[in-house]
């Protein structure tokens, strides 16, 4: 006997579970969730790659920042030009100008870079071998410098195309009309999307100071009249902050006095004592509180970190 397949009757289509408005609401929620998830995972990926900033979605890593900084800022000037200010004021604008040159189809070649480098050597009275020897002492090669000169040549070609006149002397760009060049560069910076990742910068630049949940609106230094390192810390603290941070405080704990004021206080306020004790179980001195950062021990040798925090606090 042959079994015959039973003819299936068409099933009735189920009614839609969503009304039109409900479907639209669902899609909107899904898009928001997807966007948030993308941002979260993309940001997490940038953090894992040690990205300190993005310029129009192009990343700048910790290694790139350090490379450009050491190549550009000579050791005698590194106390005055922090890596943070170099990032904001030099490297980010440089990348923005590079991107604009690329958008306009401008790209220097090896010959352009070598011509610029050759002029630099002549102006400084250096032979190629002398220059290479100097670079090797700093841990760089001639190819490293050619890379930087190629970037510079590209930017100079952009300025020329935009009608901005300049001369180059000993590696420095001297503009005929500095205001015009500044306005042009600033207009590009203003229209760029720049994101700076401060946690990655902190990880790179801070060794003495650490993040704390006990914050202060003004910088505070805690000392005693006899502790080792307190006098040097006081001199550094007040010498570096006296112009930009007039509201700073220096509490001498054993005398209960804020040494910044002319009046003699009669004790350290309770809220200041709490700041001093926070994350400081050994009650060590000196202690520096700078915004939401804390440093326990002498400030001597940590001036660059303090200057970095000063720049951040002034910016914010």
pLDDT of residue 171: 72
- pTM of the complete model: 0.78
* CA separation for the pair 299, 244 (Å, rounded): 18
* CA separation for the pair 165, 221 (Å, rounded): 49
Q: pLDDT per residue over 73-113, tens digit each?
A: 988 888 889 999 999 999 999 999 999 999 999 999 999 99
* CA separation for the pair 314, 60 (Å, rounded): 23
Helix axes 128-137, 142-161, angle to 10 degrees: 110
pLDDT of residue 5: 38
Q: Which of 173, 202, 231 is the last residue of a domain?
A: 202
Q: What is the bridge-based pairing of β-strands 58-61 and 166-169? A: unpaired
pLDDT of residue 35: 43
Structural domain count, the chain: 2
pLDDT of residue 134: 87
Residue 5 lies in a domain: no
Q: The CATH number of the domain where 292 resides is what?
A: 3.40.30
Q: pLDDT per residue over 112-126, tens digit each?
A: 999 998 888 888 888
Task: State whether residue 268 is helix, strand or coil.
Answer: coil
Task: State whether residue 112 is helix, strand or coil.
Answer: helix
Q: What domain range includes position 178?
A: 52-202
Segments in the chain below pLDDT 50: 1-18, 23-43
Residues 211 and 305 grouped into a single domain: yes
pLDDT of residue 137: 87
Q: The CATH number of the domain where 151 resides is what?
A: 1.10.4030.10
Q: Which of 202, 218, 251 is the last residue of a domain?
A: 202
pLDDT of residue 19: 53
Residues 145 and 109 grouped into a single domain: yes
Q: What is the bridge-based pairing of β-strands 210-211 and 257-258? A: unpaired
Q: Which of 202, 234, 269 is the last residue of a domain?
A: 202
- Report residue 138 CA to chain centroid gap: 23
pLDDT of residue 34: 43
pLDDT of residue 124: 83
* CA separation for the pair 124, 140 (Å, rounded): 18
Residue 297 lies in a domain: yes
Residue 303 lies in a domain: yes
């Amino acid at each position: 006997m042959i079994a015959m397949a039973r003819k299936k009757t068409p099933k009735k289509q189920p009614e839609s579970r969503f009304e039109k408005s409900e479907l639209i609401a669902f899609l909107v929620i899904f898009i928001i969730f997807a966007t948030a998830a993308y941002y979260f995972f993309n940001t997490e990926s940038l953090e894992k790659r040690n990205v300190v900033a993005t310029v129009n979605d192009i990343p700048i890593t910790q290694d790139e920042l350090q490379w450009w900084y050491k190549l550009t800022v000579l050791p005698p000037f590194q106390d005055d030009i922090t890596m943070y200010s170099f990032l904001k004021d030099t490297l980010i604008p440089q990348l923005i100008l590079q991107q604009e040159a690329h958008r306009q189809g401008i790209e220097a070649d090896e010959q352009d870079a070598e011509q610029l480098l050759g002029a630099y050597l002549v102006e400084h009275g250096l032979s190629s071998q002398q220059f290479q020897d100097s670079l090797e002492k700093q841990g760089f090669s001639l190819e490293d410098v050619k890379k930087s000169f190629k970037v510079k040549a590209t930017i100079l070609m952009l300025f020329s195309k935009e009608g901005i006149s300049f001369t180059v002397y000993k590696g420095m760009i001297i503009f005929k009309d500095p205001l015009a060049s500044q306005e042009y560069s600033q207009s590009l910076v203003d229209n760029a999307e720049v994101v700076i990742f401060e946690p990655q910068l902190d990880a790179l630049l801070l060794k003495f100071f650490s993040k704390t949940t006990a914050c202060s609106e003004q910088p505070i230094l805690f000392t005693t009249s006899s502790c080792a390192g307190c006098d040097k810390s006081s001199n550094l603290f007040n010498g570096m902050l006296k112009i930009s941070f007039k509201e700073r405080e220096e509490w001498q704990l054993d005398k209960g006095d804020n040494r910044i004021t002319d009046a003699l206080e009669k004790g350290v306020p309770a809220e200041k004592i709490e700041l001093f004790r926070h994350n400081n179980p050994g009650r060590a001195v000196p202690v520096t509180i700078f915004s939401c950062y804390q440093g326990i021990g002498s400030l001597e040798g940590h001036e660059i970190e303090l200057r970095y925090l000063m720049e951040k606090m002034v910016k914010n």
